[in-house]
Amino acid sequence: MNKRARPAPLYSRKPRNSTGEPPLKPVKRNREGAKKTKRKVAAKWKAIRRGHAPAPDHQPQPRAEERNRPRAARQSNRASRPSPYAGNDRKSTQRETSLLPVEDRPQIQDRDESFAAKPPTPGRPVPAKPPRPGRPVPAKPRMPGRPSPGEAAYAWTAQSRRSRVRLDGPVLAIVGRPNVGKSTLFNRLTGSRRSIVGDEPGITRDRIYGEVSWQGRTARLIDTGGIVPDDQAQIPAEIFRQARTALDEADAIIMVVDGRSELAAPDLDLARLLIKTGKPLFLAVNKIDTESMEAAAENFRRLGIRNLIPISSEHGLNIGDLLDAVFAVLPPETPPTEPEEVRDEEAGDDIHRTHGEFAQHETRVAIIGRPNVGKSTLLNALTGSSRAIVSPIAGTTRDAVDEMLRYKDHELRLIDTAGIRRKGKTHLMAEKLSVVMARRHLEAADLALLVIDATEGVTASDATIGGYAHESGRSVIIVVNKWDLVTRARTDGKPPADRAIFERQLRSVLKYLSYAPVLFISATEGRNVPRVLDTVLRVAEERRKRVSTGQMNRFLDKVDFQRASVPIAKRIRIYYMTQAAVAPPTFVLFTDRDVKLHFSFERFLENQIRAAFGFEGTPIWFKVRARNEAPAGKSAGPSRK
């Protein structure tokens, strides 16, 4: 009986082949080991990019098509290939590590002409660039009288200084040593809470402007920081410089002293300095809350100021007497010349116009960002003056500093706000109030300049601050400052940063600000600063753009809504759409049912509108209204109990 032969065991001790080799052992896959090896390789290349580890000594193998070429040709072509550290030919080096510093990111040679090497000294001939091999290009000599990039920046700065708006009317300055109640008096006279008030001395640092009205007359009011003439520290010296500028502009001066304290040496020094100016001087002895304390105010007669008035800024006592004495010596104000009303030719169309469509005298631009990113430096570069105090100390600006600027027949009000930080990072009351005031000025502005430090990259705080502007409906322009420190002025020995890579990483973090234009500038050197104001005017015009209902209906007929990925439960049918308001553009969708738009459908519709009509730099809002929905205050029909 023939029995079926049993198959040989899979892993037998005897060899299965004729060569006598031992059998292969089973291989067990180790997925965790492969992942660990992959992480080690990634960490190794990351250390090489940072310079913590040497680069590999072995040379890469030439390509198959280059093996037959001479070695010299291979070496020359290898330099023209994209580097694996440039982030453009290896997937492992293109990670969107947006929260890493700039020096940790892949970077390549910068190709921006505005941040090239420093321009040559005027008067020296500019050497012509050698023509590219195989492409003869005649050398372009430098045109006589044409400034270099650096000279053009300084020329534009001088021109912007001439275009600063000088408001008419008498000027009144409030000065005094720290913590005597100057900001409280300023808020009392202006009837607002413009200046931050607290028990901490030295809260106010920059000049703050306001208006005071009394008996039909109006004057400009300037609040200054506490003056200590003999203090040589950086912040007190800058405060004293700002106060000297206010004294030069003022027609009359109010010196505020603390009536509850004794006469101090800084008061005597400041009084002698103010008397030398020769301008009308008034001494306001503050914190005199009761009539029994008025006798103590006579002790300040030793300052040599004739006009002495005891007041209480907190309770408003004797404020009228102070204003009567001040306005009696102020020069009469010049009556403003009102332009003739020009009738709009399209006024007969009976179009409902919102607040953003009327002729606005000024465009409010708020400069926002984290502390110490260059907001005050940008304000000084835009205005061509030393309007704000600039120092390397984070949190120098506390009160919002505004300045009027006329650019291309448009009036812009630039507002420098304090650095916005997290609540856990603010400890002093002045810092907490400065963040609150910065948020308040942002919501009152039309447009926001989000300043980002190029040396630190895009952080989570930048994303949070940008979210404040986006949610409040402000138009946004992203300004990457200190770009020169990561390009031609880099001192750490690393290659210059690349604009395209930086912008791609920036967009990955600030995805909700995909509509905002990005500018790379250097506020200290004044490079690309004129482009900021040009972009501001363009975005402000897009913010107030209106699209007619007929254009929107023709637009809806061309849109393929089948491309929008929307769940079946969230699908709606749009009958027609109209723009209800501007600044920001708001569209009302009349649909078959009143449901909230799905986020993917809203994003699809927004992208289609931007592709057709623009709206650069401004958010777009949507409101859904069912066609059979009854207006507010009216019932849709009889109700049943």
Task: Tell me how far apart the alpha carbons of residues 629 and 594 are, in angstroms, rounded to a whole number.
Answer: 8
- pLDDT classification of 184: cutoffs 50, 70, 90: very high
Task: Tell me what the mean pLDDT of segment 60-82 comes to.
Answer: 48
pTM over 0.75: no
Q: What are 257's strand-pairing partners?
A: 285
Task: Tell me how far apart the alpha carbons of residues 601 and 591 are, in angstroms, rounded to a whole number.
Answer: 14
The Cβ of residue 600 has, within 10 Å, a number of other Cβ atoms equal to: 13
Does the residue 492 lie in any domain?
A: yes
Task: Tell me what the mean pLDDT of segment 537-565 comes to.
Answer: 91
Q: Which two tokens stand for residue 500?
A: 């395209």
- Same domain for 375 and 478, yes or no, is yes
Does the residue 94 lie in any domain?
A: no
Computed on alpha carbons and rounded to an integer, the radius of gyration of the chain in Å comes to 34
The pLDDT assigned to 174 comes to 95
Judge whether residue 61 has pLDDT over 90. Answer: no
Judge whether residue 518 has pLDDT over 90. Answer: yes
Does the residue 86 lie in any domain?
A: no
The pLDDT assigned to 399 comes to 87
- Same domain for 566 and 420, yes or no, is no
Judge whether residue 448 has pLDDT over 80. Answer: yes
Does the residue 307 lie in any domain?
A: yes
- Same domain for 225 and 287, yes or no, is yes
Give the residue from 501, 521, 542 where a domain finishes: 542
Task: Tell me how far apart the alpha carbons of residues 85 and 406 are, in angstroms, rounded to a whole number.
Answer: 45
CB 181 within 8 A of CB 257: no
Task: Tell me what the mean pLDDT of segment 213-222 comes to.
Answer: 93
- pLDDT classification of 610: cutoffs 50, 70, 90: very high
The pLDDT assigned to 87 comes to 37
The pLDDT assigned to 452 comes to 96
- Note the Cα 370 to chain centre separation in Å: 9
The most confident of 116-130, 193-207, 297-311, by mean pLDDT: 297-311
- Mean pLDDT rounded to a whole number for the chain: 77
The pLDDT assigned to 113 comes to 43
The pLDDT assigned to 425 comes to 75
Task: Tell me what the mean pLDDT of segment 363-381 comes to.
Answer: 94
Q: pLDDT (tens digit, 9 = 90+) per residue, 413-430?
A: 999 999 998 877 777 787
* Greater model confidence, 305 or 166: 305
Give the residue from 542, 568, 586 where a domain finishes: 542
- Helix, strand or coil for residue 217? strand
- Percentage of the chain lying above the pLDDT 90 cut: 45
Q: Could you give the angle at the alpha carbon of 432 between the alpha carbons of 424 and 465, nearest 5°? A: 70
The pLDDT assigned to 563 comes to 86
Does the residue 508 lie in any domain?
A: yes
* Greater model confidence, 571 or 153: 571
- pLDDT classification of 166: cutoffs 50, 70, 90: low
- Same domain for 498 and 371, yes or no, is yes
The pLDDT assigned to 20 comes to 52
- Same domain for 419 and 528, yes or no, is yes
* Greater model confidence, 491 or 20: 491
- Same domain for 295 and 191, yes or no, is yes
Q: Could you give the angle at the alpha carbon of 345 between the alpha carbons of 342 and 351, nearest 5°? A: 110
- Same domain for 427 and 278, yes or no, is no
Q: At what angle do helices 149-162 and 375-383 cross, to 10 degrees?
A: 70
- pLDDT classification of 45: cutoffs 50, 70, 90: confident
Judge whether residue 341 has pLDDT over 70. Answer: no
Q: Which two tokens stand for residue 440?
A: 């308040």
Give the residue from 490, 525, 542 where a domain finishes: 542
Task: Tell me what the mean pLDDT of segment 65-76 comes to.
Answer: 50
Task: Tell me what the mean pLDDT of segment 141-153 comes to.
Answer: 43
- pLDDT classification of 488: cutoffs 50, 70, 90: confident
Does the residue 191 lie in any domain?
A: yes
Task: Tell me what the mean pLDDT of segment 478-483 comes to.
Answer: 96
- Same domain for 607 and 590, yes or no, is yes
Cα–Cα nearest to 548, from 323, 365, 357, 286 = 357
Task: Tell me how far apart the alpha carbons of residues 131 and 40 are, in angstroms, rounded to a whole number.
Answer: 46
Task: Tell me what the mean pLDDT of segment 75-87 comes to.
Answer: 40
- Same domain for 397 and 532, yes or no, is yes
Lowest mean pLDDT among 68-72, 195-199, 319-323, 464-468: 68-72
Lowest mean pLDDT among 34-48, 254-268, 471-485: 34-48
Task: Tell me how far apart the alpha carbons of residues 125 and 177 are, in angstroms, rounded to a whole number.
Answer: 55
The pLDDT assigned to 554 comes to 92
- Same domain for 389 and 536, yes or no, is yes
- Same domain for 387 and 517, yes or no, is yes
Task: Tell me how far apart the alpha carbons of residues 256 and 238 are, in angstroms, rounded to a whole number.
Answer: 20
CATH code, domain with 514: 3.40.50.300
CATH code, domain with 617: 3.30.300.20
Task: Tell me what the mean pLDDT of segment 177-188 comes to.
Answer: 92
Lowest mean pLDDT among 277-286, 302-311, 425-434: 425-434
The pLDDT assigned to 163 comes to 56
Judge whether residue 323 has pLDDT over 60. Answer: yes
Lowest mean pLDDT among 177-186, 353-362, 513-522, 524-533: 353-362
* Greater model confidence, 350 or 55: 55
Lowest mean pLDDT among 27-36, 167-176, 194-203, 422-431: 27-36
What counts of helices (H) and strands (E) characterise the chain?
15, 15
Task: Tell me how far apart the alpha carbons of residues 157 and 397 are, in angstroms, rounded to a whole number.
Answer: 23
- Same domain for 453 and 468, yes or no, is yes
Task: Tell me how far apart the alpha carbons of residues 99 and 87 are, in angstroms, rounded to a whole number.
Answer: 16
The pLDDT assigned to 30 comes to 56
Task: Tell me how far apart the alpha carbons of residues 629 and 635 are, in angstroms, rounded to a whole number.
Answer: 10
The pLDDT assigned to 234 comes to 80
Lowest mean pLDDT among 42-56, 299-313, 462-476: 42-56
The pLDDT assigned to 48 comes to 79
Does the residue 84 lie in any domain?
A: no
* Greater model confidence, 548 or 633: 548
Q: Which two tokens stand for residue 263?
A: 């006469």
Task: Tell me how far apart the alpha carbons of residues 423 and 574 are, in angstroms, rounded to a whole number.
Answer: 44
Judge whether residue 345 has pLDDT over 60. Answer: no
Phi, psi torsion values for 143, nearest 5 degrees: -70, 135
Q: Which two tokens stand for residue 636?
A: 């849709």
Domain that holds residue 496: 356-542
Task: Tell me what the mean pLDDT of segment 304-308 comes to.
Answer: 93
Task: Tell me how far apart the alpha carbons of residues 516 and 478 are, in angstroms, rounded to a whole number.
Answer: 6
Q: pLDDT (tens digit, 9 = 90+) per residue, 225-273?
A: 998 877 777 888 888 889 999 999 999 999 999 999 888 888 999 999 9
* Greater model confidence, 102 or 580: 580
The pLDDT assigned to 154 comes to 41
Task: Tell me what the mean pLDDT of segment 495-524 comes to.
Answer: 94
Judge whether residue 433 has pLDDT over 50. Answer: yes
Does the residue 576 lie in any domain?
A: yes
| Number of domains the chain is built from | 3
The pLDDT assigned to 531 comes to 94
Judge whether residue 10 has pLDDT over 60. Answer: no
